[in-house]
Structure 1
């Protein structure tokens, strides 16, 4: 394992294993063939062809599409096909900022292979001129990567919520960061990846924030998603990323970006250029 390997993991996928998923002429996702087979039972909602799956043409508004797809998703949930139901809607669009096409239950997002968005916060402190990073360990009951190390604050972007507002909410729930402190977080760009995980295609964009925390700040979790926190020097963070699989799969992307932006990883490293260019890769 290396830092480059950590990045490469988040870009591994084979699109030949999936069918394009469309609204009109626009491809908005990639669907597993077994899901396409299930959707043949709902011809009033989905048109399933040999080379693509699309939403029925008469569902021509956001509300119509959302209601019809939600009805199908709930039936597939009852049959056990859709698992990990979250009762949380994500908005689906061709790209960020584009016209919303429909809302989709979060558990269905990777099944349909549509783009999803989230926020990740690098919460750090300075000790004797060195940067230390707060990380959390995911609770054992998390549906994805239980027990893995994670950011101090991270979360998916629900329908109708702006990224910074979501960050403020997640900061309070996951780490007890007061609103006035969380508002000091600085946006630092976005990272995208497309990867296969648990037989589904994840096509995610992460909005990245940095927040320098007071030296005496101690995070406390409220929502049960984080088992504990630890404060680690960047050298140990790099070692864990490069030598172990302790971190959740997408956290490595954001931390490597942090290490580059804060000068911990410098152009003197032989792999510096490869790391920086790999991070800028777009699916």
Structure 2
């Protein structure tokens, strides 16, 4: 395996399998063709035409549009067209979070192929032998990637919460970090990817952070989502990313980005330019 294969795995999808999801003349996502056909046949609020899957009855106002779409999702769950909802609102946008057109439940976002946002934090320690990364093992009862390796802190970014507030919350829940420690995390950019999933399409944005931790820091999970923590030399983490599928898929991208930024993957790497470019894949 190679590092570049990990990036390709996060960007595996066929545009021919999808049609635009259109609201008020604006393309806000991509839906699987079969899902679009079933939805247009099942629900009176949608039609499928040459523009794509069109939510023709969408209200103009944000709150009204969000409320009506929530009612639609409840009907789709009852009809068995989508799975159970998370009850966590995400913005529907073709740009940034601040340009939201309405809200969608997190679980339904891939069904309509709308952008989702998250935050991942690289918690690291400087030692005499070099950098070491804190790594979490996801609890075995997690809905997605049970038992896989993960970042020290990682989570989705719901609507109505600022990036700093959400990072503090995730830091406390997943690693026992207090707000003062969380506020020392440095924003270092973002990675983007788009991949097919079992429920649809995931065009995702992950905001990345680095947090240097003291040698005596020991994380502890407060919400039951982490089974164990490990502190490993970065060379060992690099080997796991390159040679296995042990990490949750999108964590590979954030770790590769960390290693490049810290000079641990350099221009001598044969795929260096492809790696750098692949971490910011264009979103549809």
- Indicate the TM-score class for this superposition, using the shorter chain for normalisation: over 0.9
- The count of corresponding residues between Structure 1 and Structure 2 is 282
Q: Indicate yes or no: 2:170 matched with 1:170.
A: yes
Q: Kindly provide the CA deviation profile for residues 237-274 of structure 1, in whole angstroms up to 9, marking residues without a partner as x.
A: 11111111001110010000000101111122233222
Q: Taking structure 1 as reference, are residues 58 and 113 closer, same or farther at Cα in structure 2, changes over 3 Å only?
A: closer
The corresponding residue for 1:93 is 93
| Structure 1 stretch displaced more, 27-36 or 171-180 | 27-36
Q: Residues of 2 paired with 1:97 and 1:106: CA distance?
A: 14
Q: Indicate yes or no: 2:114 matched with 1:117.
A: no
The corresponding residue for 1:9 is 9
Please say if residues 84 and 143 of structure 1, whose CA atoms lie closer than 8 Å, have aligned partners that are also in contact: no
5+ long unaligned stretches in structure 1: none
The corresponding residue for 2:238 is 238
Q: Residues of 2 paired with 1:137 and 1:76: CA distance?
A: 34
The corresponding residue for 2:130 is 130
Q: Residues of 1 paired with 2:195 and 2:224: CA distance?
A: 27
Pairs within 5 Å for 1:1-283 = 1-40=1-40, 41-43=42-44, 45-49=45-49, 51-57=51-57, 59-283=59-283
Please say if residues 85 and 106 of structure 1, whose CA atoms lie closer than 8 Å, have aligned partners that are also in contact: yes
- Give the TM-score, by structure 2 length: 0.94
Secondary structure of the 2:99 match is: coil
Q: Residues of 2 paired with 1:92 and 1:273: CA distance?
A: 32
Q: Residues of 2 paired with 1:50 and 1:274: CA distance?
A: 35
Q: CA deviation at 1:222?
A: 1.2
Please say if residues 23 and 58 of structure 2, whose CA atoms lie closer than 8 Å, have aligned partners that are also in contact: no
Q: Residues of 2 paired with 1:123 and 1:213: CA distance?
A: 7
Q: Residues of 1 paired with 2:186 and 2:125: CA distance?
A: 14
Q: Residues of 1 paired with 2:231 and 2:108: CA distance?
A: 34
Q: Residues of 2 paired with 1:277 and 1:80: CA distance?
A: 39
Q: Taking structure 1 as reference, are residues 58 and 225 closer, same or farther at Cα in structure 2, changes over 3 Å only?
A: closer
Q: CA deviation at 1:90?
A: 0.6
Q: Kindly provide the CA deviation profile for residues 37-60 of structure 1, in whole angstroms up to 9, marking residues without a partner as x.
A: 3422322x3233255112225511
| Structure 1 stretch displaced more, 141-150 or 251-260 | 141-150
Q: Residues of 1 paired with 2:184 and 2:176: CA distance?
A: 15
Q: Taking structure 1 as reference, are residues 57 and 253 closer, same or farther at Cα in structure 2, changes over 3 Å only?
A: same
Q: Residues of 1 paired with 2:198 and 2:47: CA distance?
A: 26
Please say if residues 118 and 163 of structure 1, whose CA atoms lie closer than 8 Å, have aligned partners that are also in contact: no
Please say if residues 118 and 154 of structure 2, whose CA atoms lie closer than 8 Å, have aligned partners that are also in contact: yes
Q: Residues of 2 paired with 1:132 and 1:25: CA distance?
A: 49
RMSD: 1.6
Secondary structure of the 2:117 match is: strand
Secondary structure of the 1:250 match is: helix
Q: Residues of 1 paired with 2:138 and 2:24: CA distance?
A: 39
Q: Kindly provide the CA deviation profile for residues 27-76 of structure 1, in whole angstroms up to 9, marking residues without a partner as x.
A: 11011233323422322x32332551122255111122211111121122
